[in-house]
Amino acid sequence: MKPMSLRIKLTLAFLMIALLSLALVGLFANVFFGKQFEDYTVNRLNQTISDTVDQVTDLYVHSGGRWNMASLDGTGMSLLANGLILRVEDENGTVLWDAQVHNNGMCLLILENMAQNMQSFQSNFQGGYEEKSYPAIANGQMVGTISIGYYGPFYFSDTDLQFLSALNRLLLIAGAVSLAACVVLGAYLARRLAKPISDVIHAAGQIAAGDYGERLTANESTAELTALSDAVNSLADTLERQELLRKRLTADVAHELRTPLTTLQSTVEAMLDGIWAPNEAHLSSCREEILRLNKLVDELGALSRYESDALVLNCEPLDLHQLATQAVCNFESAARQKNVSLSCFGATAPVLADRDKIGQIIINLLHNGLKFTPAGGSIALETKNEADRAILFVRDSGCGIAAEDLPYIFERFYRADPSRSRETGGSGIGLAIALAIARAHGGDIRVSSVVGAGSEFMLSLPKGR
């Protein structure tokens, strides 16, 4: 079965919600309004009967204390036109005027019409002829009995039915207009929601195909869609950057391996061709290149171990300031030879960490600082003790790092010097190893630099794990 598109699903969902809402509104409106209209009809009927009793009693009073047949006939016929059947008896129970006797056919026709009206309104309506009797009181004396018959328990007149029918037609028209508006609005909103998602799908497909230049325009009206577009754009940026690093890594690895291998090849070929004698000097040169290759392999192996989830840390309580001071002591001789000032200051910074591995981070940072700091420069280490972290700053007054190189200096084999001269750098793995060790401890290393003014590396470690 072919999956349904999001746009169709959303449109159908809006349609179903609109239909359900209209059905509920129609149901509640009919039930509630119907009950209210029934109560209104019953109250109106009772009020009409009460007014009729007063009216008939007034006829007796205005006729000089006697029943006037002509007045009763006019009043009875008027009431019959409104669906009320009048019967008047005197104080002795003698029937003076009875609508069913006066015009029985019309009474039956009115009752039949009322029954048809109520059946057309409600097919299971149970009703029939009902009659209520009231005493006629004039001047404090009972002068007769007034009986009012009607179709009960209540009835709707033709005018009432026309009103209810018009109301239902208005509800249907309003419902149809609302339904059409919901469908149009639902389709529009579904398109607004589905299009950005379709764009994300297209962009993801382009990224999967290796085209990392695809970017999405953020949808500013919907926070989630904006976040989704930003996430896809960030993914494309990251993959594009990683692809560039991967290509550069391949070239850098080839360069790192080519230099010692080329030296080995030329030296061995020269000795095989008899140009050079296989003496100690030439063999020592070959050994140095082999050691360089072994060191490169060892550094790669170490980096792989530090980035592994299975890395075991031998953590112990230690003072980051004391560890930095020891490292400075170890580099004093090298710094003196290069005429570089080396200092360490700051507060005690206790951490729970692997002493050897954290020491390696400090050594790597000091080694880089000493390498890029000219004679007469300075390198300063400072420790700070924060609430939950220990901070080590390594600041130098060297040549600095260009802004375009800062995001990549922790990548393996990355060197800001395109020529990759060993006079200006090593293999390019030292900082990658330092960052891997810091993150294995739950910490991080950040760098800030200004070309010509020096660099600042900040090692941040949690106090306890």
Model confidence at 419, pLDDT cuts 50, 70, 90, reads: very low
How far apart, in whole angstroms, are the C-alpha atoms of residue 457 and residue 210? Answer: 35
Q: Quick check: 405 and 425 in contact, CB under 8 A?
A: no
* Residue 56 and residue 150 in one domain: yes
Task: Kindly give, in sequence order, each residue whose CB lies less than 8 Å from that of residue 377, ignoring residues fewer than 6 positions away.
Answer: 340, 341, 396, 397, 398, 454
Angle at 462 between CA 310 and CA 245, to 5 degrees: 60
pLDDT average, residue stretch 135-155: 83
CATH number at residue 280: 1.10.287.130
CATH number at residue 426: 3.30.565.10
Largest CA distance in the chain: 161
Straight-line distance from the first to the last Cα atom of the chain, in angstroms, rounded to the nearest whole number: 52
* Residue 340 and residue 365 in one domain: yes
Q: Is residue 97 part of a domain?
A: yes
Q: Quick check: 342 and 332 in contact, CB under 8 A?
A: yes
The dihedrals phi and psi of 273, each to the nearest 5 degrees, come to: -80, -5
* Residue 77 and residue 219 in one domain: no
The residue out of 306, 338, 366 marking a domain boundary is: 306
Q: Is residue 206 part of a domain?
A: no
Whether the ω angle into residue 350 lies within 30 degrees of 0, i.e. cis, is: no
Residue with tokens 């209810």: 164
* Residue 27 and residue 79 in one domain: yes
**Burial class for 313, CB neighbours closer than 10 Å (0-12, 13-18, 19+):** middle
How far apart, in whole angstroms, are the C-alpha atoms of residue 289 and residue 301? Answer: 18
pLDDT average, residue stretch 5-24: 76
Q: Is residue 443 part of a domain?
A: yes
User: Both tokens of residue 376?
Assistant: 């007469």
Q: Is residue 182 part of a domain?
A: no
Return contacts of 306-315, CB within 8 angstroms, 24+ apart.
306/357, 306/433, 306/436, 306/437, 306/440, 307/436, 311/440, 313/353, 313/354, 313/357, 313/440, 313/441, 314/354, 314/355, 314/356, 315/352, 315/353, 315/354, 315/441, 315/465
Q: Quick check: 428 and 252 in contact, CB under 8 A?
A: yes
pLDDT average, residue stretch 443-455: 90
The dihedrals phi and psi of 167, each to the nearest 5 degrees, come to: -65, -45
Q: What is the pLDDT of residue 446?
A: 92
Q: Is residue 167 part of a domain?
A: yes
CATH number at residue 37: 3.30.450.20
Q: What is the pLDDT of residue 420?
A: 44
Q: What is the pLDDT of residue 459?
A: 94
* pLDDT tens profile 249-295: 666 667 667 777 888 888 888 888 878 888 887 788 888 888 878 87
Checking if the pLDDT of 132 tops 80, the result is yes
Q: Is residue 44 part of a domain?
A: yes
Checking if the pLDDT of 68 tops 50, the result is yes
The residue out of 287, 306, 325 marking a domain boundary is: 306
Domain, as residue range, for 293: 215-306
pLDDT average, residue stretch 226-233: 82
CA-nearest of 387, 395, 381, 386 to 449 is 395
Checking if the pLDDT of 243 tops 80, the result is no
Task: Kindly give, in sequence order, each residue whose CB lies less than 8 Å from that of residue 340, ignoring residues fewer than 6 positions away.
Answer: 370, 373, 375, 376, 377, 378, 379
Residue ranges of alpha helices (H) inside 209-319 are: 223-272, 280-306
Q: What is the pLDDT of residue 195?
A: 78
Buried b (16+ CB within 10 A) or exposed e, 188-218: eebeebbebeebbeebeeebeeeebebebee
How far apart, in whole angstroms, are the C-alpha atoms of residue 439 and residue 446? Answer: 12
Q: What is the pLDDT of residue 127?
A: 74
Q: Is residue 132 part of a domain?
A: yes
* Residue 423 and residue 373 in one domain: yes
Q: Is residue 191 part of a domain?
A: no
* pLDDT tens profile 347-398: 899 999 989 889 989 998 998 889 889 988 999 999 998 888 999 999 998 8
Q: What is the pLDDT of residue 465?
A: 55
The residue out of 263, 278, 306 marking a domain boundary is: 306
Q: What is the CA radius of gyration of the chain?
A: 51
- Number of structural domains, the chain? 3
Checking if the pLDDT of 61 tops 50, the result is yes
How far apart, in whole angstroms, are the C-alpha atoms of residue 149 and residue 99? Answer: 10
- Report the SS3 class of residue 145: strand
* Residue 163 and residue 83 in one domain: yes
Q: What is the pLDDT of residue 444?
A: 92
* Residue 145 and residue 280 in one domain: no
Mean pLDDT of the chain: 80
* Residue 364 and residue 222 in one domain: no
Q: What is the pLDDT of residue 202?
A: 82
Checking if the pLDDT of 460 tops 90, the result is yes
* Residue 44 and residue 151 in one domain: yes
* Residue 389 and residue 426 in one domain: yes
* Residue 109 and residue 155 in one domain: yes
* Residue 350 and residue 437 in one domain: yes
